[in-house]
Structures are given as structure tokens and as C-alpha cells.
């Protein structure tokens, strides 16, 4: 038997009903904040992620699905391509490629699969889904303002509320600007020098190439050392500190609770200033339901104009897992309103006509078959949880009125064709 590859999974009904509920709800919320959907390819040039996310990150150095294209055309051959491990770099690439600022477009969302070669466990998959939102634009349009950061955080809180996720925790930090980080990296190098040989191989490498990434280490034995390292907060310059203070002031004004976590640096290199994660207790070890932050230099790093930005990505798999704590997928899945049971030869075509009429009224209709005996039709209607069974036999067709039975109460009535849809809708 061929199984789905390690770290991937099939999303099946009824769970897909919860996924659809989440996506419909977030689309509504994005509309209220004037975000527009963008769809970018699921694979991009490898270089986009190397330059955007950063060579020293775990994502780029260990987790990408990368291949060399073997296309027939000379221009395809040898090109290195990668399944997107995240979508901020792709959206910023599209922003630059299509000069979206010229059309006044600056708020985007996207929903789709991402790919990382991680060790699979609950809440961690190799193909997973993100709901991504990005605000990006020229500084003159206000994209650098701390008001955007606070608006994004308030948007996340509204989204989680509307979907029905409570008990989240917002962890907030500022990772400063590149100048702050250069000073911080120096301090980290100094602090790491006497202890780094006791740390894991990755940390030894990071201590040289990009000391900030030591904070991404998950090796338990390294944690006591990481606890003693300086934090970025001490190295923030005046402008970054003021920015951070203003974000927090607006959050307090709109009553969004948060905690500060000075060790939160996020696993991607593009972040500047505000960095955040929302965690949820129900998730266990993989407790980050979403993460995000500001990336003021990303557009320029990818060859575009200066365009400060901020965004976040929700792990949709984790969002759905948290939601399952309180909502059953069964309860959001729409059951058939009516099962149509054609009785005897020639009745399939009558049933088809009726199904067509009823479906026009937005009713969920399941069709039986004229070869079924009545008992078999009842069993089938029960099995799928239909509310009603509608019996379509020769007598009913002649009278143009049909036997409609409510499957829970057992009540049966004869209803003229013209009133059927109304009758079924009434008891919804």
C-alpha cells in the first residue's frame, strides 16, 4: 500500500468542515480591515529564501525541500527551486515584481500550504498550512508607524476571537534595527566565547556566523547557558525603544493583553523591531499558534524599494487543533436537509427534477436510486444524518404532492410540490 509521505496528512471530512469554517471567518475579518487576497506560487527560486529568510536560519540551512530543475529548455536547467517554507518572502517578491505600490495596494492575505523538512509530531508537519497577512508600503504611506504594528496585533486578537479561540497569550519583544543587532551580536560573541564549546554543534557554528540564532536552539542541555546570555532589549537605540513603547501604549488603549519576552527573537532573519508570537495552552510542545513581526529591510534585501512592512502567519493546522478542544467538526459540518427516495422504475428522472428545484433553494439534497427498496432508502437516509426523507413514487408524481417524513420526530405529511422547499427550510 502506498501511504502519504512522512509529515504530510490527508485532511478528511468532517474535519475539513472546521477548516472551511476557519477560512470563511478569517476572510470576513480580513475584509473588514481592507486586506486583499494574494496567491503566489508554492515554489520559488531558492535564492529568494536564502536572501529573505537568511542562510543561517534552521529553515534555510536544514528544512527546505530544494531541487535542481531538469527542464528541457536551456533556461530551466540547473535552476535551484524550493517549495516555499513560508510566504512573507514570496509576497514581498510579488510586491516588488508587480510594483504593487503604484496601484496603492498595501495589505495582503494569503492561505495555503508551506513545506519544511522538520521532525513530524503533533502540531508539526512537513506540509502545513498558513494564513498569512502582510502590510507593506512606502514609509510616506505610514507603513513604518507603530500604529500599524498595533493594528496588526489587534487584528490577530479579533481573528482568534471570531474563530472562537480563547486563552491565547501574546508574547511581545523588539529585536531592534540592524545597528542594534550588530552591537548585540558582538555582546553575544563575547558572552558565548568561554562557554560555546559546551554547546551543541549548531550553536558552535551560529556563535561564529550569526550569534542571534543561538536563541533558536532547542537542545535541553544548552538552555541553562542561553538563559545567562544578554538580551537585545539592552541594545535598542532611542528610535526603536520609542517605537516599541508606542506599540505597547496602543495595545493597552485597545485592551489587548500581552506579556514581554525578551528572549523572543523569531527564527527568521528579516525581523526588525516588533516581534511577536501568540501561544495556546492546548497545543503542548508546539504551542505557537502564530508568529510575526516587522521587516523594514526585506524589500531592499530582495532588490526592491524601501518598503517597511509587518505581518504574521497563523499555523492553520495548530489553529484547528486548538479549536477542536471546544468545537466538534461534526457540529459545523452541514448535514443533508433531505434524502430523496425514488420508488420504482422511471422515478430517477422525477427525483432528479425535484433535487434540482430544491437545491436552487440552497438545500442540501442527497439522491437515492429507483432500484432501492424503501427500507434501503430509509437506512441510507439515516446513515448520512438527513433531516427528511422525500418519497417519490408514481402516485406522488400523479398528484404532484409528495410524502415528506421528518426522520427524528417520525412525523409524515403530504406536501404539494410548490411548497416543498418552504416546508423543509422552515424546520432548519
Close Cβ partners of 240 (under 8 Å, ≥ 6 residues apart) = 174, 176, 177, 180, 273
Residue 274 or 377 having the CB closest to ligand HAM: 274
Q: Which of 52, 211, 308, 311 binds ligand HAM (CB under 6 A)?
A: 311
Q: Does 216 bind ligand HAM (CB under 6 A)?
A: no
**Least separation, in Å, of the C-beta of 373 and ligand HAM?**
48
Residue 247 or 290 having the CB closest to ligand HAM: 290
Distance CA 372, CA 370 (A): 5
Beta bridge partners of 66: 82
Q: Does 312 bind ligand HAM (CB under 6 A)?
A: yes
Given the DSSP bridges, would you call strands 288-294 and 107-115 parallel, antiparallel or unpaired? unpaired
Q: Which of 150, 203, 212, 313 binds ligand HAM (CB under 6 A)?
A: 313
Interacting positions 278-297 with ligand HAM (CB under 6 A)? 288-293
Q: Does 88 bind ligand HAM (CB under 6 A)?
A: yes
**Least separation, in Å, of the C-beta of 112 and ligand HAM?**
12
Give per-residue burial for 331-356: e unless 16+ CB within 10 Å, then b: ebbeebbbbbbbbeeebbebbeebbe
Q: Judged by CB under 6 A, which stretch of 127-135, 365-373, 386-394, 419-427 contacts ligand HAM?
A: 127-135
Site string for ligand HAM, 232-271 (x = CB under 6 A): -----------------------------------xx---
Residue 146 or 293 having the CB closest to ligand HAM: 293
Residue 206 or 294 having the CB closest to ligand HAM: 294
**Least separation, in Å, of the C-beta of 251 and ligand HAM?**
18
With CB under 6 A as the rule, give the number of residues binding ligand HAM.
25
Residue 92 or 340 having the CB closest to ligand HAM: 92
Asked if 97 and 61 touch (Cβ cutoff 8 Å), the reply is no
Close Cβ partners of 28 (under 8 Å, ≥ 6 residues apart) = 162
Distance CA 410, CA 103 (A): 60
Q: Which of 9, 27, 124, 423 binds ligand HAM (CB under 6 A)?
A: 124
Residue 131 or 390 having the CB closest to ligand HAM: 131
Residue 171 or 357 having the CB closest to ligand HAM: 171
Q: Which of 318, 340, 351, 363 binds ligand HAM (CB under 6 A)?
A: 318
Residue 212 or 290 having the CB closest to ligand HAM: 290
**Least separation, in Å, of the C-beta of 428 and ligand HAM?**
36
Instruction: For residue 71, give the C-alpha cell.
Output: 527542464
Q: Does 350 bind ligand HAM (CB under 6 A)?
A: no
Peptide bond into 14 cis (omega under 30): yes
Nearest residue relative to ligand HAM (C-beta): 315
Q: Does 317 bind ligand HAM (CB under 6 A)?
A: yes
Residue 57 or 377 having the CB closest to ligand HAM: 57
Q: Does 274 bind ligand HAM (CB under 6 A)?
A: no
Q: Judged by CB under 6 A, which stretch of 26-34, 124-132, 171-179, 213-221 contacts ligand HAM?
A: 124-132
Q: Does 54 bind ligand HAM (CB under 6 A)?
A: no
Q: Does 134 bind ligand HAM (CB under 6 A)?
A: yes
Given the DSSP bridges, would you call strands 365-367 and 309-315 parallel, antiparallel or unpaired? unpaired
Asked if 291 and 204 touch (Cβ cutoff 8 Å), the reply is no
Residue 108 or 402 having the CB closest to ligand HAM: 108
Distance CA 240, CA 301 (A): 20
**Least separation, in Å, of the C-beta of 266 and ligand HAM?**
6
Distance CA 60, CA 359 (A): 49
Asked if 396 and 346 touch (Cβ cutoff 8 Å), the reply is no
Interacting positions 94-123 with ligand HAM (CB under 6 A)? 116, 118, 123
Residue 116 or 206 having the CB closest to ligand HAM: 116
Site residues (CB under 6 A) for ligand HAM? Answer: 86, 88, 116, 118, 123-125, 128, 130, 132, 134, 267-268, 288-293, 311-313, 315, 317-318
Amino acid at each position: 500500500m502506498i501511504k502519504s509521505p512522512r509529515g504530510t496528512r490527508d485532511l478528511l471530512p468532517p474535519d475539513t468542515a472546521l477548516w472551511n469554517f476557519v477560512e470563511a471567518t478569517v476572510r470576513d475579518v480580513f475584509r473588514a480591515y481592507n486586506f486583499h487576497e494574494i496567491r503566489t506560487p508554492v515554489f520559488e527560486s531558492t535564492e529568494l529564501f536564502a536572501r529573505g529568510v537568511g542562510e543561517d536560519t534552521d529553515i534555510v540551512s536544514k528544512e527546505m525541500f530544494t531541487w535542481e530543475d531538469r527542464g528541457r529548455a536551456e533556461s530551466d536547467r540547473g535552476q535551484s527551486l524550493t517549495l516555499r517554507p513560508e510566504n512573507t518572502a514570496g509576497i514581498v517578491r510579488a510586491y516588488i515584481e508587480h510594483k504593487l505600490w503604484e496601484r496603492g495596494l498595501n495589505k495582503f492575505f494569503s492561505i495555503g500550504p508551506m513545506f519544511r523538512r522538520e521532525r513530524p509530531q503533533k502540531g508539526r508537519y512537513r506540509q502545513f498550512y498558513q494564513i498569512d497577512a502582510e502590510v507593506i508600503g512606502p514609509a510616506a504611506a505610514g507603513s513604518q508607524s507603530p500604529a500599524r504594528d498595533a493594528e496588526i496585533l489587534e487584528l490577530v486578537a479579533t481573528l482568534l476571537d471570531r474563530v472562537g479561540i480563547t486563552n491565547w497569550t501574546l508574547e511581545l519583544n523588539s529585536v531592534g534595527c540592524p545597528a542594534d543587532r550588530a552591537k548585540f551580536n558582538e555582546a553575544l560573541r563575547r558572552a558565548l566565547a568561554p562557554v560555546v564549546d559546551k554547546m551543541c554543534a549548531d550553536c558552535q557554528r551560529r556563535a561564529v556566523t550569526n550569534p542571534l540564532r543561538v536563541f533558536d536552539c532547542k537542545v535541553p542541555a544548552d538552555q541553562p547557558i542561553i538563559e545567562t546570555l544578554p538580551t537585545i532589549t539592552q541594545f535598542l537605540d532611542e528610535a526603536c525603544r520609542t517605537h516599541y513603547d508606542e506599540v505597547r501604549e496602543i495595545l493597552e488603549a485597545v485592551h489587548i493583553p500581552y506579556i514581554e519576552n525578551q528572549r523572543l527573537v523569531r527564527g527568521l532573519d528579516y525581523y526588525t523591531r516588533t516581534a511577536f508570537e501568540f501561544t495556546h495552552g492546548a497545543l503542548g510542545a508546539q504551542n505557537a499558534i502564530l508568529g510575526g513581526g516587522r521587516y523594514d529591510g526585506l524589500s531592499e534585501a530582495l532588490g526592491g524599494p524601501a518598503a517597511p512592512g509587518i505581518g504574521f502567519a497563523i499555523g492553520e493546522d495548530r489553529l484547528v487543533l486548538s479549536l477542536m478542544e471546544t468545537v466538534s467538526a461534526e457540529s459545523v459540518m452541514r448535514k443533508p436537509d433531505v434524502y430523496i427516495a425514488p420508488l420504482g422504475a422511471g422515478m430517477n428522472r422525477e427525483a432528479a427534477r425535484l433535487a434540482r428545484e430544491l437545491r436552487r433553494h440552497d438545500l442540501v439534497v442527497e439522491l437515492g436510486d429507483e432500484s432501492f427498496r424503501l427500507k434501503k432508502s430509509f437506512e441510507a437516509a439515516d446513515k448520512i444524518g438527513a433531516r427528511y426523507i422525500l418519497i417519490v413514487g408514481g402516485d406522488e408524481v400523479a398528484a404532484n404532492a409528495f410524502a415528506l417524513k421528518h426522520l427524528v420526530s417520525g412525523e409524515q405529511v403530504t406536501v404539494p410540490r410548490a411548497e416543498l422547499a418552504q416546508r423543509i427550510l422552515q424546520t432548519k
